[in-house]
Amino acid sequence: MAKVTTLAEKIDALLPQTQCTKCGYDGCMPYAEAIANNGAAINRCPPGGDEGIAALAALLDQAIVPLDPECGAHIPHRVAMIDEAACIGCAKCLKPCPTDAIIGANKFMHTAIASLCTGCELCIPPCPVDCITMVEDKNFPALPNVDIARERFHLHTFRLIRDSQERIDALADKERAVLYDQHAPR
């Protein structure tokens, strides 16, 4: 486990690392920072449930409060299951998966790796054929290792930023080439 130093890091260490955004923030660390720096409520994490709220309350010396129903209900951990026969290989589920637990390529079927799935459900809305469901899996009844989930989220975020920058650079190179061709002596 990484050395925890700031209050936000201590809070983040108590969160389940599903990165589901149900709390209204873009991930567990942004929620932790909002709690630490802006006094956000400690009861906005459905995956953490009552245990998570109690842990946050103890850390912050606050009263235990019920889960905010506007954020959703606490349910047992579930994992994404892709109906591979119905999957059209559109790859729209890959980018939103915060831990890269879904594998596949464009125009090929996809599958979810249950042991890496945090149950965030972020893969469901972009699926145009509704081939993804969340199921309880007796082999994975609890959230994945939070340290692994956090690291996979950081790697996923790094990859998205890198890919975006590579696309920007490639488009800029194309634009320069077109401008050069237009102004090149003939």
Spell out a b/e string for 46-78, using b for 16 or more CB atoms within 10 Å of the CB, else e: bbbbeebbebbeeebeeeeeebbeebbeeeebb
Is the pTM higher than 0.85? no
Find out whether 8 and 33 touch, Cβ atoms under 8 Å.
Answer: yes
pLDDT number for residue 125: 97
pLDDT number for residue 4: 63
Q: Amino acid identity, residue 181?
A: D
Q: Residue 155's closest CA among 19, 6, 47, 20?
A: 19
User: What's the CA gap between 75 and 9, in Å, rounded?
Assistant: 25
Find out whether 96 and 127 touch, Cβ atoms under 8 Å.
Answer: no
User: What's the CA gap between 7 and 13, in Å, rounded?
Assistant: 10
Res 14 pLDDT > 80: yes
Res 132 pLDDT > 90: yes
- Mean pLDDT for 94-105 is 94
pLDDT number for residue 137: 80
Better-predicted residue by pLDDT, 186 or 78? 78
CA dihedral 10, 61, 64, 56 (to 10 degrees): 0
Q: Residue 156's closest CA among 5, 31, 26, 2?
A: 26
Lowest mean pLDDT among 3-7, 20-24, 122-126: 3-7
Find out whether 148 and 16 touch, Cβ atoms under 8 Å.
Answer: no
pLDDT in tens, 64-99: 999 999 999 999 889 999 999 999 999 999 999 999
pLDDT in tens, 141-175: 677 788 899 999 999 999 989 999 999 999 988 88
Give the CA distances from residue 32 to residues 1, 49, 126, 152, 156, in Å, rounded to whole numbers and listed in that order. 17, 15, 27, 18, 19
Ordered domains of the chain (ranges, CATH): 7-71 (1.10.15.40), 76-186 (3.30.70.20)
Where does the pLDDT of residue 15 fall: very low under 50, low under 70, confident under 90, or very high at 90 and above?
A: very high
Share of the chain above pLDDT 70, in %: 96
pLDDT number for residue 134: 96
pLDDT number for residue 2: 56
